[in-house]
């Protein structure tokens, strides 16, 4: 499948109207509820940092001795305990089969990669490559990693693992030096960013994601079926501005009243943050394509929320906080309520 074929799929996805999903037939709204927390951690806060697209999530909770990795599936929580060797941990993503990719920063500042599934933690070898900087995992289980080749330590290299028989990491053809992998699409297209902004790599071809002249400093957060969501900074107006890029042309289109676009599902629903002047991140909100739908309700006792992931059934995951959402909060989901 080439860029052009992918573009037809992406354009169709983004053009899906509200009436195409029964739950959106009339005045869609969402109800918020707290995700369950493990015994002994009922009062802690944290982040939802990954999703499998169909009801599974992963995140970190702030335990007394460090970060506990937790996963949620079908309304049940699993506590995977403290990350191995952990001085600091990060969740890079989750595949469709609920494999979670995590990074662990040790006291020596080295980052080690692990996958986590129902059987526990499994170390990920990066071969001769060292000093892992970032990573991503796709729906199929393919992985991309930014690391250093000791033979050329002056820059980082993007590595890629295919889920189809590839043994070990290999440099990603088409990736530029010093690039950070952000996300991987269902077909293996890798979303990356370097010092000049986001770009895509597919079958060795590189496609830069640009913005109109009235914007600068674009960034991208996720990709789904050729639809990329992120944002940019207006050159003459207060910002930021949420953006969506759609194959094949990947022309950036602003989201109505949007500050940040975090995730997009198979029906073109987008979760992110509404623009609000003089605040880093406005109210959690939802769009259908570029059309603003609604703000998301807050959990009782909280004042702000962050919507990070959206499942194909319209369920949204994130957290709700009484303080800054940048400091985490109570993990929550917003369920799409049918009013048809």
- The DSSP bridge pattern shows strands 88-94 and 76-82 to be unpaired
231 contacts 252 by C-beta, under 8 angstroms: no
**What is the arithmetic mean of pLDDT over 154-174?**
87
Whether pLDDT at 132 is above 90: yes
What are 273-285's pLDDT values in tens digits? Answer: 999 887 777 899 9
Provide the b/e sequence for 146-162 (b: ≥16 CB within 10 Å).
bbbbeeeeeebbbbbbe
pLDDT computed for residue 271 by the predictor: 98
Q: How many helices (H) and strands (E) does the chain have?
A: 1, 28
pLDDT computed for residue 277 by the predictor: 84
pLDDT computed for residue 4 by the predictor: 38
247 contacts 253 by C-beta, under 8 angstroms: no
284 contacts 269 by C-beta, under 8 angstroms: no
pLDDT band at 88 (very low <50, low <70, confident <90, very high): confident
pLDDT computed for residue 86 by the predictor: 72
Instruction: Tell me which of 78-82, 140-144, 205-209 is least confident.
Output: 78-82
pLDDT band at 143 (very low <50, low <70, confident <90, very high): very high
Cα separations in angstroms, 296 against 220, 224, 266, 313: 22, 22, 20, 16
pLDDT band at 66 (very low <50, low <70, confident <90, very high): confident
- The DSSP bridge pattern shows strands 330-337 and 29-34 to be antiparallel
pLDDT band at 166 (very low <50, low <70, confident <90, very high): low
Instruction: Tell me which of 42-51, 134-143, 162-171, 214-223 is least confident.
Output: 162-171
pLDDT computed for residue 85 by the predictor: 74
What does residue 101 show for φ and ψ, rounded to 5 degrees?
-100, 125
Whether pLDDT at 229 is above 70: yes
pLDDT computed for residue 1 by the predictor: 43
pLDDT computed for residue 22 by the predictor: 42
**What is the arithmetic mean of pLDDT over 39-64?**
94
For residue 253, what is the domain's CATH number?
2.130.10.10
**What is the arithmetic mean of pLDDT over 332-339?**
87
Instruction: Tell me which of 8-17, 39-48, 177-186 is least confident.
Output: 8-17
* Residue 175 preceded by cis peptide, ω within 30: no
What are 299-322's pLDDT values in tens digits? Answer: 999 999 999 999 999 999 999 999
Cα separations in angstroms, 68 against 48, 58, 124, 324: 12, 11, 19, 21
Whether pLDDT at 3 is above 70: no
pLDDT computed for residue 307 by the predictor: 98
Dihedral sign computed on CA atoms, order 272, 312, 57, 184: negative
Domain that holds residue 73: 3-337
Q: Count how many domains the chain has.
A: 1
pLDDT computed for residue 201 by the predictor: 98
């Amino acid at each position: 499948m080439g860029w052009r074929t992918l573009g037809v799929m992406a354009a169709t996805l983004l053009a899906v109207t509200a009436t195409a999903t029964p739950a959106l037939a009339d005045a869609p709204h969402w109800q918020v509820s707290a995700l369950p927390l493990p015994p002994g951690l009922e009062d802690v806060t944290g982040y939802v940092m990954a999703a499998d697209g169909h009801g599974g999530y992963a995140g970190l909770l702030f335990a007394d001795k460090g970060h506990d990795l937790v996963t949620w599936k079908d309304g049940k929580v699993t506590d995977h305990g403290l990350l191995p060797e952990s001085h600091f941990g990060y969740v890079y993503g989750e595949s469709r089969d609920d494999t979670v990719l995590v990074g662990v920063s040790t006291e020596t500042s080295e980052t080690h990669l692990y996958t986590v599934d129902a059987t526990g933690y499994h170390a990920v070898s990066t071969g001769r490559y060292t000093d892992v900087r970032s990573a991503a995992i796709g729906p199929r289980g393919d992985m991309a990693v930014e690391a250093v080749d000791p033979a050329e330590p002056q820059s980082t290299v993007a590595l890629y693992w295919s889920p189809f028989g590839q043994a070990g990491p290999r440099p990603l053809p088409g990736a530029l030096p010093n690039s950070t992998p952000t996300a991987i699409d269902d077909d293996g297209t890798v979303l990356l960013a370097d010092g000049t902004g986001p770009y895509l790599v597919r079958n060795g071809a590189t496609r830069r994601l640009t913005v109109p002249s009235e914007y600068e400093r674009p960034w991208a957060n996720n990709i789904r079926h050729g639809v990329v969501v992120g944002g940019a900074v207006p050159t003459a107006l207060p910002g930021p501005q949420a953006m969506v890029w759609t194959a094949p042309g990947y022309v950036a289109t602003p989201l109505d009243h949007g500050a940040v676009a975090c995730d997009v599902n198979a029906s073109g629903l987008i979760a992110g943050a509404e623009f609000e002047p003089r605040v880093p991140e406005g109210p959690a909100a939802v769009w259908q394509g570029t059309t603003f739908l609604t703000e998301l309700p807050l959990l009782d006792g909280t004042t702000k929320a962050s919507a990070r992931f959206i499942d194909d059934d319209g369920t949204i995951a994130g957290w709700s906080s009484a303080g800054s959402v940048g400091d985490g909060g109570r993990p929550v989901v917003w369920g799409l309520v049918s009013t048809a």
